[in-house]
Structures are given as structure tokens and as C-alpha cells.
Structure 1
Amino acid sequence: MSDIEKKLDNVLANLIKINSFYAYILMGSKFKEANVKNIKLTITRNGDFLFLYNPVSVKIKSEIFFEGLILHELMHFINRHYLIKPKDKRDKAIWNLAQDAAINQFIPQLDALSVPLNVLIEEGHGADNDVIFVGPPANMLNRTAEEYHDYIIEEFLKKGNYDIEAIAEKLPQNHEIESDIPTDMIVELVQQKVGKAFNLFGKELPSGLRQDIEIFISKPVINWEVAIRRFAGLSQKGDKYSTPLRPNRRYDDQPGWRYIYDPKLTVIIDTSGSIIEEELNAFMSEIESLARLGVELNVIQVDKSVTFVGKYKRGEWKNFEVYGGGETDLQPAVDIAQKDFRSEGIIIFTDGYVDLPKVDRRVLFVLSKKHNPEFYIDTKKIYGNVYVLS
């Protein structure tokens, strides 16, 4: 065994000693020499992690450095950062910073060396060393990569002279995934591995990291648009009427019967002030898609009380007005859907900064990007069907 292989084995052994959660996830992991910057994580078809490493970098850098990088790579996978699709090269650089800020705060080896985002932006350039570890601003701990992405853009607008691409080049890793298996298979394999580890040893993790992983393992593999269409596809048989155009299976000289299938779906829209227009438009676009398929929908808008009750049919998005904008109480809207409309299924769009309603019918929750993580966890435990706009 070479000195480099011994060094990597020591790194893996030290990580396994940190806690049983990491030991379970890293079980079966292997290392392979490759043309990468430092170390890069991929996954094999049997669900084991494979770490690609640069031998020169391993030789000259400390074991504790690589311990941090392995945890760094694991956290990118756990947070599904490889699913983020940047708009262009500059946006990719912003996402790289945002993703690192989201995870380095949970890795002691890197957190101690990190430069907060606000300091990088204030200086307008990177540090003089060859590698930059990025951390969150002191007043923005335990946020998502999406929130840090928005923060960076907002600061750009204020400052206007920040060389983002030069900074991103100094990050210890790039975040593009390299694997010969489909992305959806990677999502499923990682979710299974992390889920089992969390169920067994999740209590040993720090609270912030524990909440992060709990949200990950409860996230569905399919996206919210597919979930809405599947949910709406389960129709309820309604009234029947006789028709001579349909043969009677029992009596040849009698007309047959035709059933009316009525989905009886109600869409409840949280119109509180924290729901942004872009997300509401994305949700309404999917509702329009259902209407084009012939699904008739009841619509209820609600903030502190119910502000609108009506029907939604194809093309009505053009004249659809949003009422409200204050605090939110979903229960009155749920009561109307269940008692007045007798809906077979209920779709609720909200940011989750509200008490969880009691729903007795089939229900699907669609949450905005900046949703309340506690609402997500509680809803998943009770109702199961929760999806997030992406």
C-alpha cells in the first residue's frame, strides 16, 4: 500500500470515528486516482460512494483538510446540490458560493477556515491563498443554498463590482456530478443510504445538521408538477345516465348506462404576503395545465380568512386576481372544501408559516421555495404528500 493510500485510509478511519452516522454512510466507500482538483464524490450502481482523488493534492495537504473535503462532498449529495441548474456561467459561480456557504458551517474543519460571504463581497475580491472556504454571514446561519444565492444577488445589486467568477475558481471543488448512472437513480440510491443511516444514528448529529438531513430524506423523488397531475388523475365516479349510444351488456334491447366522472378537486391558495409572485405564477401554470385536461377545479384563496371562493376553468389564469396578503389560517378554507364542496381531493399551496390544518380527505401540499422547514417536517409525518416548488 502506497503512502497516499495509507493517508486516505487514515482519513476515512478518522471520519468513521466521528459518529456512527458517517460510519454507516461511508461503509463500502472506495478511492480512485483521477484528474480532479482535490477530491470528488460519485456513486456506483450498487449504491457505494466512490471518491476520486488527485494524488498530488493528497500528498501535500493534511489529513484534516481531506476529512473536511469528504464531509463537504457528502453534504453536497445530501442536499441534492447536483440537481441545481444554473442559468449561465456567472450564475453557476454564484451557486457554487451559495452551496458551499450552506454546508461548510456544519463541518468544523472547514467552518474554522471559512470566509463569510459578506466579507468576500465587501472586499470585492478573494483571499490571497489558493483555496477559499466560504461560510455564511454571522446573521444568516443555517439557511439553504437558495437563500444564500438570493443574498449574493441582492448584494451584487448594491455593490456592483464583485468578481464572482474569480472567487469561484478558488473554491476547493466544483459541484458538477460525474457518474455513468442516471441522475434519478443517484437521487434514489443516496436517499436510501442516508435515510437508513439517519433512522439508526440521526440523534447523534448536531441539531442544525439533523434538521437539514431530516428534510432531505423526507423529500420525494418525483417533482411537484408530476405529483399534482398524479393526484388529479384519481377521479371519483359521479352520476350516471342512460344512453342508446352505449350497448347494455345484459339486455340487447335496452339502452346502456354512462357514468360521469367528476374529479371534485379543490385548490386552496395561501395568499399571505410571504408568497412571492413568481412562485404563485408557477403554481397557477400547473393548475392551468389541469384545466386544459378537462379537470374542473374549485379554487379558494385564503389569508387570515377566506377571501375568494369560485371555479377555475381553462384560460381563467388571464383574469385571475389574488386577494389578501396578511396572516394565514388554512382551516376555514379546508372546511369549505370538505363540507360545502365535498371534495374528493384537496391541493394546498402555502409557504407553511401557518398552523397545520386538519384535513380528512386526500390532500397534497405544495410548498413555496422559502417554506417553513418545521411545517414541512410536521406535514410529512401526518399527511405524507408534501412537495416543494423548484
Structure 2
Amino acid sequence: MIDIDKKLIVEELSKIYTALSIDKPYLVSLIKALKILITEKPDAPAIFTTDKELVINAHFWRNLELNIKKFIIEHECFHLILRHAVRVKELHDRRGVPTNISGIAADVVVNSLVKIPEEFKDKVITPELIANLLKMSINEIRRMSMEEIALLLYRREDEILSRVTPPSDIEYSISILTGSSTFNYEVLQEGDYELYGKKGQDFEEELRRRLLNALIYAKLIGKVPEGFNREVDWMLKSKVDWRGILREALREGFTGSFWRTWLKVNRKMPDQLPGHKVYTTPKILVLLDTSGSITEKELDTVKVVEEQLLSQH
């Protein structure tokens, strides 16, 4: 049994959601859709994530001010919806990047998206700190994905670790993913069944769909942080050879295909059935979406790709 008033935490979460609805309205629907658990574990961070859930540690939560609670909820929510723990583990498995280095990169990304309380700025890893260590501009850092930052940090691993203390939340989340850490919990917020009723890849696809909707909404209201845009783009980037699929679709759709018409004479039954006309390669019409969900930068990118394709044919 966890010794804390869960009703009080629910009330605090409601206040946090209200505050977020003002400065990050696109994030609120995502947080409300998440399953939130509560535990009491002295050796765990104040808040951390599993592969799917947000976990509040009552051992530390009860002693925090509300503005700090808002910050860490927002912070860990970004870690969860951007799949940072999963991506950090993948980067370690595929490229050998230490999880503590990638954890620093994940915090850089998230802390560029949230407003850090003044009294907390000397306790967290800021984009400004890493930009200074890497001798890069803050805007360059904010345009990079977690993986890109991690690989840069990895090249200067010893120097970075001598200057920066890796965050404990990502490391702990990975220990849960690998099964080396466990915890008892109670459910605080059930989450959206349309999301949590799905498993495996279906869950990931549903989460990506919601992320895309959040990004579009943020663009429409003009409140999309550049780092969020870059991270979502990375998660949504196609791993499918769309050129190959388009090529096969055209080949299948137009090779030997025909349509029936009375304007052509049917050679076998001229007065009883319509003739047929074989499809030829059609003209291609390009339609560009210029609505509010498409930025000038994205529109320019589409135009460049279009011109490249046209120049090849």
C-alpha cells in the first residue's frame, strides 16, 4: 500500500494540465491519454517512465513544490511520447553509444522544449550548457535530434562526463526495459483505451499518429518548438522505399490495363459489347498542401523534391 493521498495528486495533476493548456495546449491531450502509475521507491527518481507509462514516485513527490511538479511531469511526458528510453537503448545496441551519454542528449532535447524553473536551472542539463561544450550555437542544438546530439557527445565522451552529470531518469527507465529493476505500483490515471488497448507495433503507430496530430495542432496555433518538430520528424520518418512502391503501383496500374468504351468497336461482338481502350502513361498532376499545417520550410522541401523528380523524367 502506497502511503500518499492519491486524490490530492489527481487534483495537482488537474492544476498542472490547466497550466499546460495555456503554454502547451498541444501537449495536454497527450498527457491525459497516458497511463500514470504511482509507486514509493527511495532508490528511484522522483518521476520516470516505463516503455508505456509515466510513474510518479511518492517518496519524493510529496516534498516538491507545484511548479517543480509541473516541470518534471512535462519533462518526463516528453521523454515518454518521444520514446527516449527506447531510442537510447536502441542507440546503445546499434551504435555502442553509452546510455549515460544518450541520456544527456535526451535531456538536452527535452529541456529545450520546457520552461525550466529558475531555482532548478543549476540542477538540470540545459541546451546552453551542451552548446557551449560542443562550441555550437544554441539554434544548431535545437535543430538536432537526440541521436545526432548523442553521437556528437560520444566523440568527446570523457570530456562531457567530466563536466556533466548524466540524468538518472533515463538510466532507470532503461533498467526497467531490460528487467533489471522492478517496482510495485498503483494506477493513478488509467489512460486512453484507444492507445493502451493496443500492443507492440500497433501501440507505437497509434502514439505516432497522436504525435503527428499534436504537431499539426501546434503549427496551427503557432506554438511549435523547433526541437519538438525535429524529434517528431525523426520518429515519423519513413523507413519505406516510397519510390519503389510508387513505381510498382504505376507498373501494376497501367501495364496491360484497359477501360471499356462504346467509342471503340468490340471486334468479337461489335453490336453487343463495348470495345476497350488500353491505358497509356498518364500525365501526372502534383497537388501541394499549403494549409496552415505546412510550414514554408516544408513547402520549400516539397518543391525541391518535385523539381528533382521532374528533372529525371
TM-score range, shorter chain: 0.5 to 0.7
- Amino acid corresponding to residue 98 of structure 1 in structure 2: A
Unpaired runs of 5+ in structure 2? 1-5, 178-195, 257-280, 287-294, 307-313
Partner in structure 1 of residue 15 of structure 2:
10
Partner of 2:92, secondary structure, is coil
Q: Is the Cα contact below 8 Å between 1:105 and 1:111 reproduced in 2?
A: no
Equivalent position SS for 2:55: strand
Cα deviation for residue 108 of structure 1 reads 1.0
Match of 2:229 among 213, 222, 225: 213
| Structure having greater relative contact order (Cα 8 Å, sep ≥ 6) | 2
Matched, 1:102 2:94: no
TM-score (normalizing by structure 2): 0.55
1:193 aligns to 2:210 (yes or no) = yes
In structure 2, give the amino acid aligned to 1:93: N
| Alpha-carbon offset, residue 54 of structure 1 | 0.7
1:145 matched to which residue of 2? 146
The alpha-carbon deviation at position 214 of structure 1 amounts to 7.2
Write the distance in 2 (CA, Å) between the matches of 1:183 and 1:83.
15
Offset, 1:134? 4.0
Over the aligned positions, Cα root-mean-square deviation in angstroms equals 4.6
Aligned equivalents of 1:210 and 1:8: distance in 2? 26
> Equivalents in 2 of 1:220, 1:383: separation in Å?
18
Distance change in 2, residues 1:151/1:73 (3 Å): same
Residue 125 of structure 2 is matched in structure 1 by: 133
Which of 164, 167, 171 aligns to 2:165? It is 167
| Corresponding pairs, count | 233
Map of 1:61 onto structure 2? 64
Matched-pair identity in %: 12
**2:104 is aligned with what amino acid?**
L
* Residue among 231, 236, 243 paired with 2:251: 236
* CA drift at 1:146: 2.7
1-structure distance, mates of 2:160, 2:218 = 42
Q: 1:200, 1:236 → 2: CA distance?
A: 37
Q: 1:154 to 1:33 in 2, by over 3 A?
A: same
Which structure: greater helix fraction?
2
Q: Residue 291 of structure 1 aligns with which residue?
A: none
The CA deviation at 1:105 is: 1.6
Any stretches of 5+ residues in structure 1 without a counterpart?
45-49, 116-130, 241-343, 345-359, 363-372, 385-390
For 1:214 and 1:145, the matched residues in 2 are separated by 9
What is the match of residue 76 of structure 1?
79
Q: SS in structure 2 opposite 1:66?
A: helix
